[in-house]
Amino acid sequence: MAYKEKTMPHSERLKERIQKLKAENNAVILAHNYQIEEVQEIADFTGDSLELARKAANYDADVIVFCGVDFMAETAAILSPEKTVLLPAEQANCPMADMITAGELRVLKQRFPDAAVVCYVNTTAEVKAESDICCTSSNAVKVVQSLDADQIIFVPDRNLGNYVSLFTDKNIMPWEGFCFVHDRITPDDVNKARELHPDAEILVHPECRAEVVDMAEKVASTSGMIEYVCQSRKQEFIIGTEIGILHRIKKDCPDKICYPLSSHAICTNMKMTDLTKICNSLQKMSPRITIPGEIGDRARLAIQRMLDV
């Protein structure tokens, strides 16, 4: 046995250790669709922001190991304050979420007192606490349409805000935030990809710029894209989002051929989690994400309203 353990590759030993710690602590591993392959493979569930938020709220576990970025783990902690929420990669943040502060949002609310505030889930807990309702890329249009107000303060993603405004008569006022991964994809990238793969359909994430969204056949959240590719009769697709999603698509529908719209679409923050960090995190029950009482309570209202929509 000792000999077998010694000759077992390091990654296999790590996986065994993680499974043991998971069982001992009644833990579940949730991973975003952009995570690296080994993390997606060990996860109990892989999904987009909305699916992960729902899982975090409903999973019967004492510990949630969140393989993603900080706002996702915060959302899980807000929804399940009784659970231990771990973020194995402590430094994994979403730069877009830090592009608006609660103070800046309060100033905006004073200027437009009749407007409703919709915050993208990619925000801090403090910003969620200042918002009427939260949204993700898969339900942003539905969330905005569910509101009575005609004026909407939409934070922080200007591209998602502009995309939503295509589907409503409401006056959407987007904040000037953006995702550095999606915002750098250009119409030129789309033209080049079409030239290289003329039979492929183009799918893009709504965090892309309006001129890129205009050129796509389908706009969807990460899991929306996976579902679309798997159900389509077409064979080839160009995928306009972070390239980690290609592993998930290959796994779910191996007969389809997918090309990245831009090979530069890499979210470094989403790549910080690995098996070693997951194992250490389960061993030490840290880094733990907690949200202070009053902020957590107000943020929960905004997230719960979204889940109810």
Enumerate binding residues for ligand SF4 (CB under 6 A). 69, 94-96, 122, 179-181, 207, 242, 267, 269-270
CB nearer to ligand SF4: pick between 61 and 270: 270
Dist CA 128 CA 294 (whole Å): 12
Report the partner that residue 259 touches, choosing among ligand SF4, ligand 13P, none (CB closer than 5 to 8 A by kind).
none
Report the partner that residue 49 touches, choosing among ligand 13P, ligand SF4, none (CB closer than 5 to 8 A by kind).
ligand 13P
Report the partner that residue 164 touches, choosing among ligand SF4, ligand 13P, none (CB closer than 5 to 8 A by kind).
none
Dist CA 56 CA 63 (whole Å): 10
Instruction: Spell out the SS3 assignment of 161-214.
Output: HHHHHCCCCCEEEECCECCCCCCCCCHHHHHHHHHHCCCCEEEECCCCCHHHHC
Least gap, CB of 107 to ligand 13P (angstroms): 26
CB nearer to ligand SF4: pick between 42 and 245: 245
Residues with Cβ within 8 Å of residue 240, at least 6 apart in sequence: 182, 185, 190, 202, 203, 204, 205, 208, 212, 216, 261, 262, 265
At residue 78, what is the residue type? I
Report the partner that residue 33 touches, choosing among ligand SF4, ligand 13P, none (CB closer than 5 to 8 A by kind).
ligand 13P
CB nearer to ligand 13P: pick between 49 and 84: 49
Report the partner that residue 269 touches, choosing among ligand 13P, ligand SF4, none (CB closer than 5 to 8 A by kind).
ligand SF4
Least gap, CB of 242 to ligand SF4 (angstroms): 5
The count of C-alpha atoms lying within 13 angstroms of the C-alpha of 142, restricted to the half-sphere facing its C-beta, is 11
Least gap, CB of 267 to ligand SF4 (angstroms): 3
CB nearer to ligand 13P: pick between 93 and 186: 93
Dist CA 300 CA 306 (whole Å): 10
CB nearer to ligand 13P: pick between 165 and 223: 223
Binding site for ligand 13P (CB under 6 A): 33, 48-49, 122, 136-137, 179, 207, 221-222
Dist CA 20 CA 9 (whole Å): 17
CB nearer to ligand 13P: pick between 48 and 130: 48
Least gap, CB of 265 to ligand SF4 (angstroms): 8
Going by C-alpha positions, the residue among 145, 135, 136 that lies closest to residue 166 is 145
CB nearer to ligand 13P: pick between 131 and 136: 136
Dist CA 223 CA 205 (whole Å): 10
Least gap, CB of 181 to ligand SF4 (angstroms): 4
Least gap, CB of 99 to ligand 13P (angstroms): 13
